[in-house]
Amino acid sequence: MRKWGLHYLCLLILAVVLAGCGSGDNNSAADKLASDGGNTSNSAAATTEQSSKATLADKNTSAEAETAAGGNEAPVEKGLTSENTDQANAGFTGSDVVEGLNKKLIYHANLTMEVEDYGKAQTEIRNMVTMAKGYIIEFNENMSQYEQGGTFILKVPASGFSPFLNNLEKVKHESLQRSIQGQDVSEEYVDLESRLKAKQLMEAQYTEFMKKATKSSDLVAFANELGSIQETIEQIKGRMRYIDQNVSFSTVELRVYQTDESLAVKEKAEQGPLLERASDALKGSLNALSVMFQWIFVILAGALPILIGAGIILAIVWFARKNIRVRREQQTQRIRQENRELNKEVLPAPAEPKVTTSIKDKKANEDENKE
Predicted confidence (pLDDT) per residue in 145-162, tens digit: 788 899 999 999 998 999
CB 177 within 8 A of CB 111: yes
Q: Is 352 helix (H, G, I), strand (E, B) or coil?
A: coil
Dihedral sign, Cα of residue 288, residue 290, residue 296, residue 301: negative
- In this prediction, residues 322-331 reach a mean pLDDT of 87
* Single pTM value for the model: 0.43
pLDDT digits (tens, 9 = 90+) for 119-138: 899 999 999 999 999 999 99
Length of the chain: 371
Domain range annotation of the chain: 49-257
- Classify burial at 93, counting beta carbons within 10 Å of its beta carbon; exposed 0-12, middle 13-18, buried 19 or more: middle
Q: pLDDT value at position 33?
A: 36
